[in-house]
Chain A
């Protein structure tokens, strides 16, 4: 891998500065069946195309962010920090990732 990844905080940097943490997944909301849990823990769509994925700027600002990348060309369509903090009033146990899954056609 050799491309530039625009960190939302630091700007375009060499991809070697970052840690990759895979596709954005959807954590089950309530007690899942064994099949649902296995799908969440072990299965990835592994698309040949644009996917949303987690990156961590390990040798930089140490922020997690989400990138949209074409897995065929490594073209990065965009990056964004997770949305701003929710007010403290939000229920604490909202397990739903604030970055929803973006299914790819």
Chain B
């Protein structure tokens, strides 16, 4: 029922906006909320309560209570009383089986009482245990409020923005606007946020609709602006959150038609909607009583007005029919009405202040909680500071027939609280957790103060001695999407990525990198490297330049082996370890000049190694610069017996075994591209790693494949590389080693030059050397073709004695090979061990030398 045009209304009657509610068309005006439009269209039941499925209608009409939560465009738990209408929006009721007016689950309200007392989930439906799965299925279906749309994938985009402000004002009421204006006049940069629209203020950035969801450590105020979360840090935070009208606690106080004055005021003044036919007003303060004038102006008969400051009734309860108010009884006198406007006075919305560190105190003379002792940089203005007109303290509850709801979010009654106290929950914090009062969607806005008063009465003590429960974020409901921010799946791709896709590679994740697993035939690709020629993209390797007069000394300190004596143009393998002697990473180090070293790291370890190098240099301050070249350089490895022939076709330098020896590093042009050629043998065959500027990636890759076509060059992926490296017993840090491994136990004692004065991890290794170790990394072979799982157990005398770290069927060798940690006593060539495979124990033999080319003849040829 719309009233004729009124001065100050927020709706624009010149246009019509339509949306659907449960499939029916609803008309509204711009400026309406979904709630006001539905109310104007005659809807009174807006939701079904959480537990008993009782019908509920508009109560606060200000976004504080849970009574109007619906699903809007599949977004659950939207408070439609403050959600602006949108053309074409699809609005549906939630938490009902059937319809809002006929909800089959309301049977819980009729017969479920004995089964659903406070804390029922700890007590009922537990026995017999075997029925629990059925109970659980039922409970999961009826519990909770809205439903998430499981098929909605990234329907909206959310962002996070870090913002600064000199002054951040939360709340756009009179006090907030005054504070913002004053600060702006002082020339400060001011931001004001409010859930409702605020008239523009000169010199102030007004963000609406936006809600401050909390005050966190360091004065961080996250502001939910719908699709953006602003993380505000302000020099001054001004809280002007206002005060919230409190409901009275009496039987029937949750009936449809029981409203708070502000709700009625908004319906009449903002949306020109007639809220009912006959009304009764009960209020503890003048602001609540003033609503009588709005009602009369809207043509509502005000049948009775009770000013609680004049008299406190002994008895107050509402009769209902089908969940709606029919009459109200006060001290034996019944008044027929369809609208009961009630207010227990206003309570400062102090939560944000408490989160910021303010102390909160119960003022027994006024019956409200007020913030005290604000922390530095935080101010409170207006009613939130406790500047309120005098009001009566309402009774803890009023007597009469029927259920008396203390918490409408979670359907907690006065009786539930009494029962919880009788059961021994005598601290307010514990009683809160047990009864869930203040834990629902309203976050205590409407139930915190009433619950403290009631608690005090039941304990026969003063409400001031009860204390309060802790105010925690979020103060305003926030969607998970806003908190999660933009969906990020960072992927790093090498500059040859698209060529791999064109060649039909299956891609896989290695850390953040996307790499080719194989090009369709991992075993064939591995065999081809042994027989002819393969090409692999190794651009993911970490690549650093360590340069400066102290470069050699710096590396001497970081690596257990020697670098001072490394000749220019030569390469050495190195393992990085911590001072605890634990293996961190490995790679090759080439000396490309007297003061220049080219360091490679594992693909996933690059960032860690750079931080590690920079950190030690921040401590030692040696004359060294560390430059990260990982993204700047591409790298490919051409490996196989025909690799030399291919390289010879593309460069002028002498590629003979004397021209570029095994472990030589040489700068040369390959197919016109400036390259650093590293002759190393991770895959066990003659091979050249070419490192060159990334922009040439596809060109050089293509050229190598074209010019090597008659040599039958084929690309190979990561999986074949893993087979090949395993044949050589080259470890993969992180696969064959873990955070406990050291180089002695990992079978590389030769790398630790303990005669050096010092290096990171030296002392720990010395102690390991004295103490010995519990397990050792070895190779193993299995004859019968079974392949144990990586992580598979090694059984010694019927007990777990070790574990498999890598295992593959080698197509070239025709048997299963792998690496494993075993007790040192078993770490002898040819010892038989047993490995658990599919529950059976399978025999395997220990190998200490590489499975393939144990003496490295092919590498050096």
| Chain A contact residues, CB within 8 Å of chain B | 1-4, 14, 19, 21, 27-28, 31-32, 34, 37, 40-42, 54, 56, 58, 62-65, 74, 82-86, 88, 92-95, 97-99
Contacts and interface: CB of A to CB of B under 8 A. Distances in A.
B853 interface: no
Q: Which 3 pairs of residues, A with B, have the shortest CB-CB distance?
A: A3-B218, A64-B618, A92-B553
Nearest to B614: A64
A70 to B, nearest CB: 12
Contacts of A58: 611
Nearest to B618: A64
Contact of A54 (B162, B615, B766): B615
B620 A94 contact: yes
A31 B763 contact: yes
Given A4-B218, A56-B614, A85 B233 contact: no
Given A41-B580, A93-B758, A99 B217 contact: no
B231 interface: yes
A2 B621 contact: no
Contacts of B619: 27, 82, 97-99
B470 interface: no
A39 to B, nearest CB: 12
Residue of B218, B553, B758 with most partner-chain A CB within 10 A:
B218
Interface string B591-631: 00000000000000000001100110011111100000000
A93 B553 contact: yes
B618 A37 contact: no
B764 A41 contact: yes
Contacts of B763: 28, 31-32, 37
A40 B760 CA distance: 13
Given A62-B614, A98-B619, A14 B162 contact: yes
Interface string B533-562: 000000000000000011001000100000
Interface of B: 162, 216-218, 220, 231, 233, 549-550, 553, 557, 578-580, 610-611, 614-615, 618-623, 757-758, 763-764, 766-767
A92 B549 CA distance: 10
A65 B231 CA distance: 25
Nearest to A84: B621
A28 B620 CA distance: 14
27 contacts: A2-B217, A2-B218, A3-B217, A4-B233, A21-B615, A28-B763, A32-B763, A34-B767, A40-B579, A56-B611, A62-B610, A64-B614, A64-B615, A64-B618, A65-B618, A74-B218, A82-B618, A82-B619, A88-B549, A88-B550, A88-B623, A92-B550, A92-B553, A94-B620, A95-B620, A95-B758, A98-B620
Contacts of A42: 580
Contacts of A21: 615
A56 B623 contact: no
A34 B618 CA distance: 26
A28 B766 CA distance: 15
Contacts of B216: 2
B766 to A, nearest CB: 8
Contacts of A88: 549-550, 623
Given A37-B764, A88-B549, A98 B621 contact: yes
A64 to B, nearest CB: 4
A55 to B, nearest CB: 11
Nearest to B760: A27
Nearest to A42: B580
B184 to A, nearest CB: 24
B545 to A, nearest CB: 15
Contacts of A94: 620
Contacts of A34: 767
A56 B614 CA distance: 9
A15 B764 CA distance: 33
Contacts of A4: 218, 233
Nearest to A76: B218
B611 A1 contact: no
Nearest to A34: B767
B220 A2 contact: yes
A77 to B, nearest CB: 14
A31 B766 CA distance: 10
A4 B218 CA distance: 7
B217 A83 contact: no
A2 B764 CA distance: 36
B630 to A, nearest CB: 13
Contacts of B618: 54, 63-65, 82
Nearest to B217: A2
Contacts of A98: 619-621
A47 to B, nearest CB: 19
A87 B758 CA distance: 21
A19 B611 contact: yes
A85 B579 contact: no
Contacts of B764: 37, 41
A78 to B, nearest CB: 16
A84 B231 CA distance: 36
A37 B553 CA distance: 23
Nearest to A13: B162
B218 A27 contact: no
A95 to B, nearest CB: 6
A58 B615 CA distance: 12
A85 B624 CA distance: 10
Nearest to A62: B614
A46 to B, nearest CB: 18
A4 B233 CA distance: 9
Contacts of A74: 217-218
Contacts of B611: 19, 56, 58
Contacts of B758: 93, 95
Contacts of A82: 618-619, 621
Contacts of A14: 162, 231
Nearest to B579: A41
A85 B216 CA distance: 39
